[in-house]
Amino acid sequence: MIEAAGEEFYLRVAKGVRDTHAKALLTQNGHEERGHAHRLVKAIAAESGETFVLPEPPRSQRSFANTAREESRHGERDAQAVRLIAANG
């Protein structure tokens, strides 16, 4: 589940940031990603009646790099969507 991996992504990025405010914002995003994952697990259980266990976040550099690229693209597309909505409604 990408939300579980997103937590690791944000926490690793935060470790490399000097600015304490930016570090705090990234860390908060990471924790919120884990919260999203837990809510999705509850939704899956409610809809399917089956138990779903969150996977551990990826720990390999390759998995982390893939997740980082995906999360970056999500942010870029979100920003683009916000600009388009603001301009065009």
The mean pLDDT value for 58-71 works out to: 66
The mean pLDDT value for 61-76 works out to: 70
Higher pLDDT residue, 48 or 59? 48
DSSP assignment of 24-37 equals HHHHHHHHHHHHHH
DSSP assignment of 42-71 equals HHHHHHHS----PPPPP-SHHHHHHHHHHH
The pTM of the full predicted model, rounded to 2 decimals, is: 0.56
pLDDT digits (tens, 9 = 90+) for 8-58: 888 888 888 888 888 898 888 888 888 888 888 888 888 899 888 877 766
